Amino acid sequence: MFSKMLIANRGEVAVRVIRACKEMGIETVAVYSEADAEGLHVSMADEAYCIGGPLARDSYLNMDAILTLALKVGADAIHPGYGMLAENAEFARRCEEHGVTLIGPGARVTEEMGQKEIAREIAKRAGVPVAAGSGILKDAAEAERIAGEIGYPVILKARSGGGGKGIRIVREAERIAAAYGEVQKEAAGAFGDDGIFLEQYIENVRHVEVQLLADRDGKVLALGDRDCSVQRRNQKLIEECPAPELPEELREKLYGAAKALAKEVGYVTVGTVEFLVKGEQFWFLEMNTRLQVEHSVTEMVTGIDIVEWQIRTAAGIAIPYTQEQVGHGRHAIECRICAEHGSDCMPATGNVSMLHVPGGVDVRFDTALYAGCEVTPFYDSLLGKLVVCADTREAAIRKMKCALSEFILVGVDNNREMHMKFMENGSFRLGLYDTGIVDRVLR
């Protein structure tokens, strides 16, 4: 097992990883930007070091500073959390070259699954259904030609995209050249990679993902599935485990496809395979080679500490239980509490003057907030994840309504009221919804 771990991230996920390390007896090293000097993760870690200015590119994305610090303090592992450097193949390679374990599947797998057109080909080899699409496009003219062959609507995607960026839906040929330019510019700015491909756009689908845990001996377990269809601008707002109203036969097919893909690529540690589901059909969307924001709902249902097992499998420890021993039967829901103005959903900032966290059995709030902390404009708007679990989905919705009504945050505008609308929406309560539900609920 590792003796000292550097957490190359901030906020809620850094706090989550530090807690796991403390429970495992691993010393922790926090890094922080000038804007995060008073961050909760800074005070929780055994050691903490400032690595740059407020902008992420000057601090949390500074590979040289992070790796140099890890070697200087004697850290034998780095946990990247999610976002930031979590799926950066170059950083994974540099860690390997310097003998530092990056908690993840390794540079090769990170690179292959991070290039979405290559991931599509690997999925095909594994027998996993994929939507009709292209390789990396040479120019807008090629995009228009292939889109005409596939049929509109299509979706243009950045090869290295994530977080809802680098995506455009195109419904007519007249729009594709402009959309191609927009995606190319956005991808180059956000990911430093302007590679673009396109796929058939399948409408009125559900977004269902399978949580995997794999070890170096080749054992791959499906820890359950999650429905992440409640999205705004391709960013998730609410997740639940398991996906409601999903036929068991289809659920097992999703598990089988996710496992087959992981074995095809030689996956190790924690990962998630995302699918589009419509009726009895499903298509591979992408694989996230990192810890997911929504891992918490799966932990609540299975009782398995996903962060701890991510670290253990990265250290070479074998998974001791079988697929049949993975617990199911309960239901969990997660609401992402974000700093935003209710009128236009734009990111909000401010100082937290009052914070009351909901309590009770099976209620959890993963956050780095505390009374007196400042929410700055430099990073993602996620403030925390409110998670509840109950024996049934209906009971979980009731519990979430209670938790939301109890949650108090003064000083920073947030989206609590928006989440309450979903808990009271008829389609959501019945579990009969798809990725278009946000437009219907919030219009």
Rounded CA Rg of the chain: 21
Instruction: Provide the Cα torsion 223, 224, 230, 236; round to 10°.
Output: 10
Q: Are 298 and 223 in contact (CB under 8 A)?
A: yes
The angle at the Cα of 201, spanning 197 to 205, to the nearest 5 degrees, equals 130
Buried b or exposed e, range 151-184, using 16+ CB within 10 angstroms: eeebbbbbbbbbeebbbbebeeeeebeebbeebb
Q: What is the 3-state secondary structure (H, E, C) of 329-386?
A: CCEEEEEEEEEECCCCCCECCEECCEEECCCCCCEEEEECCCCCCEECCCCCCEEEEE
Among residues 73, 97, 93, the alpha carbon closest in space to that of 7 is found at 73
Residue with token string 């003064």: 410
Strand arrangement, sheet containing 269-278 = 281-288, 269-278, 206-214, 220-232, 235-241, 331-338, 382-390, 363-367
Among residues 430, 419, 363, the alpha carbon closest in space to that of 393 is found at 430
CA distance 309 to 40: 24
Q: Among this protein's residues, is 398 annotated catalytic? A: no
Residue with token string 């590979």: 63
Q: Are 250 and 257 in contact (CB under 8 A)?
A: no
Catalytic residue among 10, 251, 290, 393: 290
The residues annotated as belonging to the active site are: 290
